[in-house]
Amino acid sequence: MNMLLLGRLAWLRGRLVSSSPKKMPSTLGTNSSWSRVHWAGQLNKIRVLLADDHPGFPEIAEHFLEPEFEVISKVVDGQALLDEAMKLKPDVVVTDISMPVLNGIEAADRLKESGSTSRIVFLTVHTDADFVRRCLSAGAYGYVVKSRIATDLVPAIRQAMAGHIFVSRGLAENTS
Type of residue numbered 53? D
Predicted local distance difference test score (pLDDT) of residue 8 = 43
pLDDT band at 120 (very low <50, low <70, confident <90, very high): very high
Domain ranges of the chain: 22-174
Q: What is the pLDDT of residues 70-102, one digit of tens each?
A: 999 999 999 999 999 999 999 999 999 999 999
CB of 162 closer than 8 Å to CB of 156: no
For 34, the enclosing helix (H) or strand (E) is: helix 33-38
pTM attached to this predicted model: 0.74
Nearest Cα neighbor of 140 from 86, 104, 171, 100 is: 104
Question: Environment class of residue 9 by beta-carbon count within 10 Å: exposed (0-12), middle (13-18) or buried (19+)?
Answer: exposed
Q: What is the pLDDT of residues 129-163, one digit of tens each?
A: 999 999 999 999 999 999 999 999 999 999 999 99
Class of domain 22-174: alpha beta
Type of residue numbered 30? T
Predicted local distance difference test score (pLDDT) of residue 43 = 59
Type of residue numbered 93? V
CB of 107 closer than 8 Å to CB of 50: no
Q: What is the dihedral of CA 139, 129, 158, 140, to 10 degrees?
A: 10
Across the strands, what pairs with 95? 51, 122
Whole-angstrom Cα distance, residue 72 to residue 170? 31
Nearest Cα neighbor of 144 from 174, 107, 170, 118 is: 170
Predicted local distance difference test score (pLDDT) of residue 170 = 80
Q: What is the pLDDT of residues 47-60, one digit of tens each?
A: 999 999 998 899 99
Predicted local distance difference test score (pLDDT) of residue 173 = 56
Average pLDDT over residues 92-113: 95
Predicted local distance difference test score (pLDDT) of residue 171 = 77
